[in-house]
A and B are shown apart, each in its own frame.
Chain A
Amino acid sequence: MIEPSLALYGDAFERVDRHLEELLAATGVRYCLLVDRKGFVLSHKEALWAPRPPALDSVATLVASNAAATAALANMLGERTFSEQTHQGENGTLYVESVGDSALLTLIFDGSVPLGRVKVQTKKAIAGLAAILKELQDAPPVQLGEDFSHGATALLDDLFG
Chain B
Amino acid sequence: MSTINFAAREINCKIVYYGPGMSGKTTNLKHVFSKVPAQLRGEMVSLATEDERTLFFDFLPLDLGSVQGFKTRFHLYTVPGQVFYNASRKLILRGVDGIVFVADSAPNRLRANAESMRNLRENLAEHGIDVREVPIVLQVNKRDVEGALPTEMIRAVIDPKKELTLFEATAHNGGGVFETLKSVSRLVLDRLAQNK
Contacts and interface: CB of A to CB of B under 8 A. Distances in A.
B38 interface: no
A111 B57 CA distance: 31
Nearest to A10: B6
Interface stretch (B108-116, B166-174, B178-186): B178-186
Nearest to B9: A9
A90 interface: no
A2 interface: yes
Contacts, number: 134
B67 A148 contact: yes
A8 interface: yes
Residues of B contacting A: mostly:
mixed
Contact of A8 (B5, B59, B178): B5
B194 to A, nearest CB: 8
Contacts of B190: 149, 152
Size range of the chain B interface in the assembly: 35 or more
Chain A contact residues: helix, strand, loop or mixed: helix
A89 interface: no
A142 B57 contact: no
B151 interface: no
Given A69-B91, A158-B65, A160-B178, A5 B193 contact: no
A38 B94 contact: yes
Nearest to B6: A9
A125 interface: no
B94 A72 contact: no
Interface string B45-75: 1000000000011010100111110101001
A149 B189 contact: yes
B88 A69 contact: yes
Contact of B181 (A55, A148, A160): A160
The 7 closest A-B pairs by CB, nearest first: A9-B6, A13-B7, A38-B95, A149-B193, A3-B95, A152-B189, A151-B67
Interface of A: 1-3, 5-10, 13-14, 36-40, 42, 55, 57-58, 61-62, 65, 68-69, 72, 141-149, 151-153, 155-156, 158-161
Given A5-B3, A5-B95, A152-B189, 19 more contacts: A2-B95, A2-B129, A7-B5, A9-B4, A37-B94, A39-B75, A40-B5, A57-B43, A69-B91, A144-B193, A148-B192, A148-B193, A149-B190, A152-B192, A152-B193, A153-B189, A155-B66, A159-B65, A160-B178
23 contacts: A1-B1, A5-B4, A7-B6, A8-B7, A36-B3, A42-B5, A55-B43, A57-B42, A61-B59, A62-B45, A69-B56, A69-B88, A69-B91, A72-B87, A142-B195, A144-B193, A144-B195, A149-B190, A153-B186, A155-B66, A155-B72, A159-B64, A160-B185
Interface of B: 1-8, 12, 14, 40, 42-43, 45, 56-57, 59, 61, 64-68, 70, 72, 75, 87-88, 91-96, 127-129, 178-179, 181-182, 185-186, 189-190, 192-195
